[in-house]
Structure 1
Amino acid sequence: MAKKTTFLSLILLFFTMGFAVAAGEGGMPVLPPAPVSLSEKLQFITNSYVMVWIAVGVIVLFCRAGAGKLTMVPKGFQNFAEWVIESLFNFFAGILGDHLAKRTFWFFGATFLLIIISNYLGLIPGVGTMGWGMDSHGHFAQPLLRGGNADVNMTAAMAFTFALLWFYWAITENGLKGFLAHIFAPKGKFGGLMVVVMAFIFFVVGVLEVISIAIRPIALSFRLYGNIYGGEQTLETLMALGGKWLAFLPALPMYPIKLLVGGVQALVFTLLCAVFLKLICEHDHDEEHGEEH
Structure 2
Amino acid sequence: MLGISSFATVAVRAAEAAPKTAEVASAQQAAPETEKAEEEHHGLPQNAPVLGGKYLQVTSSMVWTWIIALGIIIFARYATRQIKEVPEGAQNFWEWLVESLRDFLESIIGRELVKKTFWFFATLFIFILFANWAGLIPGVGTIGWGIPDAQGGLHHISKPLFRGVNADLNMTLGMSLLFFVLWIIWAFQANGFGGMIMHIFGPKGEMKSFWGKAGMVVIFAIVGVLELISIAFRPVSLSFRLYGNIFAGENILESMSNIVPGLSWLIPVPFYFMELLVGIAQALVFMLLTAVFTMLICQHEEDHH
The answer on whether the counterparts of 1:135 and 1:141 sit within 8 Å (CA) in structure 2 is no
Q: Aligned-pair distance for 1:280?
A: 1.0
Q: What's the TM-score, normalizing by structure 2?
A: 0.81
- Whole-angstrom distance in 1 between the partners of 2:113 and 2:182: 13
Give unpaired runs (5+ residues) of structure 1. 1-23, 288-293
The Cα of 1:242 is off from its aligned counterpart by 2.9
How far does residue 266 in structure 1 lie from its aligned partner after superposition?
0.5
- 2:20 paired residue number: none
Question: What CA distance in whole angstroms lies between the structure 1 residues aligned with 2:87 and 2:302?
Answer: 31
Q: Distance in 2 between matches of 1:232 and 1:46?
A: 18
Residue 137 of structure 2 aligns with which residue? 124
Which residue of 1 is the match for residue 100 of structure 2?
A: 87
Following superposition, the deviation at residue 66 of structure 1 comes to: 2.2
**Match in the other structure for 1:233:** 251
Paired residue type of 2:267: P
What is the CA distance between 1:286 and its match in structure 2? 8.6
Aligned residue pairs, count: 264
Alignment-mate amino acid for residue 33 of structure 1: Q
1:133 aligns with 2:146: yes
Structure 1 residues 192-271: aligned runs within 5 Å: 192-243=210-261, 245-271=262-288
What is the SS of the residue equivalent to 1:264?
helix
Contact 1:52/1:148, CA 8 A, preserved across alignment = yes
The answer for the alignment partner of 2:163 in structure 1 is: 146
* 1:135-160: CA deviation from partner (whole Å, max 9, x where unpaired): 43611211111110000000000011
CA, structure 1 residues 37+212, in 2 after alignment: closer, same or farther (shift >3 Å)?
Answer: same
Amino acid corresponding to residue 104 of structure 2 in structure 1: F
Where 1:139 maps in the other structure, the secondary structure is strand
Q: Secondary structure at the match of 2:58?
A: coil
Is the 1:97–1:284 contact (alpha carbons within 8 Å) kept by the matching residues of 2? no
Structure 2 residue corresponding to 1:171, chosen from 184, 188, 202:
188
Pick closer, same or farther for the CA change 1:222–1:98 going to 2, 3 Å. Answer: same
Residues 42-191 of structure 1: pairs in structure 2 closer than 5 A: 43-136=56-149, 138-191=155-208
Q: Which residue of 2 aligns with 1:33?
A: 46
Q: Matches of 2:134 and 2:79 in 1, distance apart? A: 20
Q: Corresponding residue for 1:275? A: 292
| SS of structure 2 residue aligned to 1:134 | strand
Aligned equivalents of 1:58, 1:97: Cα separation in 2: 31
How far 1:283 sits from its partner (Å)? 3.3
Question: Structure 1 residues 284, 194: closer, same or farther in 2, change over 3 A?
Answer: closer
- CA shift, 1:238, in A, is 1.2
Answer whether contact 1:149 1:229 (CA < 8 A) is retained. Answer: yes
How much has 1:120 moved relative to structure 2? 0.4
Measured in 1, the distance between the counterparts of 2:302 and 2:70 equals 36
Question: 1: distance between equivalents of 2:142 and 2:90?
Answer: 33
- Aligned counterparts of 2:115 and 2:71: Cα–Cα separation in 1: 24
Larger radius of gyration: 2
Q: Deviations over 1:65-119 (max 9, x none)?
A: 2211012332332122111111011111111111111111111000111111110
Asked if the contact 1:37/1:43 (under 8 Å) is kept, the reply is no
Q: Is residue 127–residue 144 contact of structure 1 (8 Å, CA) maintained in 2?
A: yes
The residue number in structure 2 matching 1:9 is none
Give the conservation status (yes or no) of the 8 Å contact 1:39–1:45. Answer: yes
Q: For residues 184 and 267 of structure 2, what CA distance do their matches in structure 1 show?
A: 46
Q: Is the 8 A contact 1:28 1:240 kept in 2?
A: no
Q: More helix per residue: 1 or 2?
A: 1
Call closer, same or farther: CA 1:284–1:57 in 2, change over 3 Å.
farther
Distance 2:286 2:116 in 1: 19
Conserved? CA contact 2:131–2:166, under 8 Å: yes
